[in-house]
Amino acid sequence: MSFGHERLDVYRAALEYVGWAYRFCEGLKGHRNAKEQLLRASQAIPLNIAEGNGKATDGDRRRYFEIARGSALECGAIQDVLEVCGGLSTEENARAKVVLDRIVAMLTRLGRCGYTIREEPAEYAAAGIDADADTDSDPVERGANESESGSASVSASKQLLNKTLHRTGAKARNGRQARSGRLVKRSRIWTMTS
């Protein structure tokens, strides 16, 4: 099974850069602060890509991609500092910046369009893992014919929504509409009415 972020080219390029940074820092004598900062910033790139790709909303996803982009730009600046201080040759700096430039370009595009790749839900179902966060096994109610089946699924949806709202203590804004009813506050619990 692979996670969605593992299929992103930008994630693979970020891992390639982390590998370069680690190998470079192993041989770097002195420059302790720049070395530690390069390792931290380079590792932040793939970590933020993975976390951002797992977020549900475009805004959250975009924010993590922008943080990863900022870490990539920070790595470029650290390389410049190391070059000025004599810890990195001009040629090596240019070669590493080609990978960084590619990462920054891809993250810029991902941040603009809100793109994501997710895991396939069927993979979890095949492994016998319940897809939602609750602790029950989510039995499926089936009717004798299609109309009964349709009303059973609506009923099951209402029950699931009520259970979820009750368990999480979620609150809805006044006037917020649900699919087949209206969310209404009853004491401290939000319930669905028809």
Q: What HEC string does 67-135 produce?
A: HHHHHHHHHHHHHHHHHHCCCCCHHHHHHHHHHHHHHHHHHHHHHHHCCCCCCCHHHHHHCCCCCCCCC
56 contact partners, CB below 8 Å, separation of at least 6: none
Predicted local confidence at residue 6, as pLDDT:
82
Res 90 pLDDT > 50: yes
Asked which of 77-81, 110-114, 134-138, 179-183 is least confident by mean pLDDT, the reply is 179-183
* Residue ranges per structural domain of the chain: 4-113, 141-193
**Percent of the chain at pLDDT above 90?**
38
CA angle 78, 79, 84 (to 5 degrees): 95
pLDDT exceeds cutoff 80 at 179: no
Give percent of the chain above pLDDT 70. Answer: 57
CATH number corresponding to 4-113? 1.20.1440.60
**Given this model, what pLDDT does residue 99 score?**
94
Q: What is the pLDDT of residue 178?
A: 42
Q: Decide if pLDDT at 3 tops 90.
A: no
Predicted TM-score (pTM) above 0.85: no
Q: What is the pLDDT of residue 149?
A: 47
Can you tell me the mean pLDDT for 15-21? 95
**Alpha carbons 19 and 38: distance in angstroms, whole number:** 12
Range 109-116 average pLDDT: 70
- In 3D, which of 47, 37, 40, 38 has the Cα closest to residue 15? 47
Calpha distance 35→52 (Å, rounded): 26
